[in-house]
């Protein structure tokens, strides 16, 4: 590995999840054009400059909206005002280009950025002899990427004399990938110069702004390779314990790529060990070893937290039913359950937002409502009426008595906090 080898880090794809507010309006100096719908979105628009240059793609009005069915159950996948923004590739190679695109879009419709739905980061380099050997051996199976399933591999006969001497007039792998198409993290290693040249029939390069970047930084434009990582649903991940936001990404693209390379692109020799961790590791790019802080958020804790928020709303609404409100045991059980959720998840301000009162004030209000209501016997549903009575109901049970006094103690403690 050559520590002085020049590598260039870029963002090659940026897709943002948005929440729109209002209608999409015309923008002076630009042209909106509508295209056919997709499998997910009913609306697909592309914004062009007056000169015909593509700026962005906006997809909105999801086919599957989160709505309530007649029985009150939620349906669909996406919020009704959800949208997806894809920024045209060229703007990603201009410093701060995507901020200009966001400002342009704001002149058409108000929106909020919810997260990064897809991000492709890459490094471009001219391979050394050692790296060319690694590329060869990854293709023929002598080397492998740890924990990654091989995807598609493409090869071609090399006629470029500027490549490695032993690559001339022989078949070389010009595109290798790892990761299933549905994977949240995928890798691709490919001959970028060839891709850009082939796209224009071999006469000149596609995307000249990329080639200009190579030339300015002293890379041989005919022999540039690219290692690219594609990340989806970045809201599910964090770095240094913090969410990966557009603001953070603006000045930390190389940092994130280094994190991904160190954690998710480890090459080893295929030496046939039963325990593949004993296979020798192969160094590839001159990327320093850094602290590994990129991690997936714990989906269980997040899901449980969201579930408790939903439960909290249902518990609050349950006291709208007089059968629950006027039954002191049921009412106090609801109070206790709500208190435990609020304290566990620090939802004091959230509770204030949904009820208009702090918890203690709300409890006092509900107690007053119950006391001011006319006492009456409330008929209860006779479901499961065939269940026989418990013949041992009057038998002393120390566990039952213990639970009773625990519930009394909890109520006394709550009342003391309310009025003490």
pLDDT confidence tier of residue 360, bands split at 50, 70 and 90 = confident
Percent of the chain beyond pLDDT 70? 76
pLDDT in tens, 102-118: 999 999 999 999 999 99
pLDDT confidence tier of residue 308, bands split at 50, 70 and 90 = confident
Instruction: Kindly state the helix (H) or strand (E) to which residue 66 belongs, with its residue range.
Output: none
pLDDT (0 to 100) of residue 405: 61
pLDDT (0 to 100) of residue 381: 40
The residues, any chain, with a CB within 8 Å of residue 46's CB and separated by 6 or more, are 32, 33, 35, 54, 55, 56, 57, 58
What residue has token string 């919810």? Answer: 114
Q: Taken in order 151, 155, 161, 164, is the CA torsion positive or negative?
A: positive
Alpha-carbon 59 to chain mean position = 18
DSSP-derived pairing of the beta strands 237-239 and 242-243: antiparallel
Secondary structure (3-state) at 79: coil
pLDDT (0 to 100) of residue 298: 65
Overall average pLDDT of the 137-152 stretch = 82
87 versus 202: the higher-pLDDT residue is 87
Secondary structure (3-state) at 318: helix
pLDDT (0 to 100) of residue 36: 94
pLDDT at 382 over 50: no
Angle between helix axes 348-355 and 328-345 (nearest 10 degrees) is 130
124 versus 178: the higher-pLDDT residue is 124
pLDDT (0 to 100) of residue 24: 94
Overall average pLDDT of the 50-63 stretch = 94
pLDDT (0 to 100) of residue 185: 87
pLDDT at 389 over 50: no
pLDDT confidence tier of residue 96, bands split at 50, 70 and 90 = low
pLDDT (0 to 100) of residue 251: 85
- Provide the residue ranges of all domains of the chain, joining segments of one domain with +: 8-22+109-296, 300-376+397-419
Overall average pLDDT of the 166-184 stretch = 73
Residue 217 neighbours by CB distance under 10 Å: 11
Overall average pLDDT of the 409-417 stretch = 59
The span from the CA of 331 to the CA of 322, in Å, is 10
What are the backbone angles phi and psi of residue 86, rounded to the nearest 5°? Answer: -120, 120
Nearest alpha-carbon partner for 185 in 146, 154, 153: 146
Q: Strand order in 82-87's β-sheet?
A: 30-35, 41-49, 54-62, 82-87, 8-21, 110-125, 225-232, 185-190, 171-178, 150-157
The span from the CA of 65 to the CA of 4, in Å, is 52
pLDDT (0 to 100) of residue 71: 64
pLDDT in tens, 246-278: 888 888 999 999 999 998 899 999 998 888 889
Q: Is 174 left (phi over 0), alpha (psi -120 to 50) or beta?
A: alpha
pLDDT confidence tier of residue 179, bands split at 50, 70 and 90 = confident
What does 238-306 look like in DSSP terms, one character per residue? EETTEE--HHHHHT-HHHHHHHHHHHH--EEE----SSGGGSPEE--S--------EEE--HHHHHHHH
Residue 122 neighbours by CB distance under 10 Å: 21
The span from the CA of 385 to the CA of 357, in Å, is 40
Overall average pLDDT of the 122-130 stretch = 94
Q: Are 118 and 231 in contact (CB under 8 A)?
A: yes
321 versus 2: the higher-pLDDT residue is 321
pLDDT in tens, 34-48: 999 998 999 999 999
Secondary structure (3-state) at 196: helix
Overall average pLDDT of the 173-185 stretch = 81
What residue has token string 């009704």? Answer: 80
pLDDT in tens, 309-355: 888 888 898 888 888 888 888 888 888 888 778 766 667 778 888 88
* Selection from 24-33, 169-178, 319-328 with the highest mean pLDDT: 24-33
Helix residue ranges, H only, 94-142: 97-106, 129-140
Alpha-carbon 360 to chain mean position = 37
The span from the CA of 131 to the CA of 137, in Å, is 10
pLDDT at 202 over 80: no
296 versus 162: the higher-pLDDT residue is 296
Overall average pLDDT of the 391-404 stretch = 55
Secondary structure (3-state) at 106: helix
pLDDT (0 to 100) of residue 147: 76
**Average pLDDT score, the chain:** 81
pLDDT (0 to 100) of residue 356: 84
Residue 260 neighbours by CB distance under 10 Å: 18
pLDDT (0 to 100) of residue 84: 96
Alpha-carbon 330 to chain mean position = 40
pLDDT (0 to 100) of residue 123: 97
pLDDT (0 to 100) of residue 276: 82
């Amino acid at each position: 590995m050559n520590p002085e080898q020049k590598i260039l880090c870029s963002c090659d794809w940026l897709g943002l999840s948005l929440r729109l507010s209002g209608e999409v309006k015309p923008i002076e100096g630009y042209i909106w054009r509508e295209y056919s719908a997709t499998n997910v979105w009913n609306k697909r628009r592309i914004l062009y400059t007056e000169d015909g240059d593509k700026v962005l793609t906006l997809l909105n009005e999801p086919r599957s909206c989160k709505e309530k069915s007649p029985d009150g159950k939620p349906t669909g996948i996406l919020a009704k005002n959800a949208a997806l923004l894809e920024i045209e590739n060229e703007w990603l190679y201009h410093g701060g280009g995507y901020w200009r695109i966001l400002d342009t879009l704001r002149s058409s419709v108000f929106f909020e950025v919810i997260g990064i739905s897809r991000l492709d980061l890459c490094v471009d380099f001219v391979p050394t002899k050692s790296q060319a050997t690694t590329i060869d051996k990854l293709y023929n199976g002598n080397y492998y990427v740890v924990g990654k399933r091989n995807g598609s591999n493409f090869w071609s006969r090399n006629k470029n004399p500027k490549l490695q001497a032993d690559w001339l007039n022989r078949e070389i792998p010009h595109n290798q990938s790892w990761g299933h198409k549905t994977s949240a993290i995928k890798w691709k290693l490919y001959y970028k110069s060839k891709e850009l040249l082939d796209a224009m029939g071999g006469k000149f390069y596609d995307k000249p702004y990329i080639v200009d970047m190579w030339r300015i930084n002293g890379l041989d434009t005919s022999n540039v390779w690219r290692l690219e990582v594609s990340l989806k649903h970045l809201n599910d991940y964090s770095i240094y314990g913090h969410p990966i936001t557009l603001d953070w990404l603006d000045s930390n693209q190389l940092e994130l790529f280094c994190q991904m390379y160190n954690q998710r692109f480890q090459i080893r020799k295929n030496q046939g060990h039963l325990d593949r961790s004993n296979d020798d590791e192969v160094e590839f790019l001159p990327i320093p070893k850094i602290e590994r802080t990129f991690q997936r958020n714990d989906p269980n804790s997040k899901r449980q937290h969201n579930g408790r928020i939903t439960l909290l709303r249902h518990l609050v609404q349950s006291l709208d039913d007089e059968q629950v409100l006027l039954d002191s045991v049921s009412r106090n059980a609801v109070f206790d359950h709500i208190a435990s959720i609020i304290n566990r998840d620090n939802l004091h301000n959230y509770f204030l937002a949904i009820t208009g009162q702090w918890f203690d004030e709300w409890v006092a209000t509900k107690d007053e409502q119950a006391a001011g209501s006319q006492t009456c016997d409330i008929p209860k549903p006779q479901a499961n009426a065939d269940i026989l009575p418990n013949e041992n109901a009057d038998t002393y049970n120390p566990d039952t008595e213990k639970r009773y006094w625990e519930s009394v103690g909890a109520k006394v403690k709550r009342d003391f906090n309310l009025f003490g």
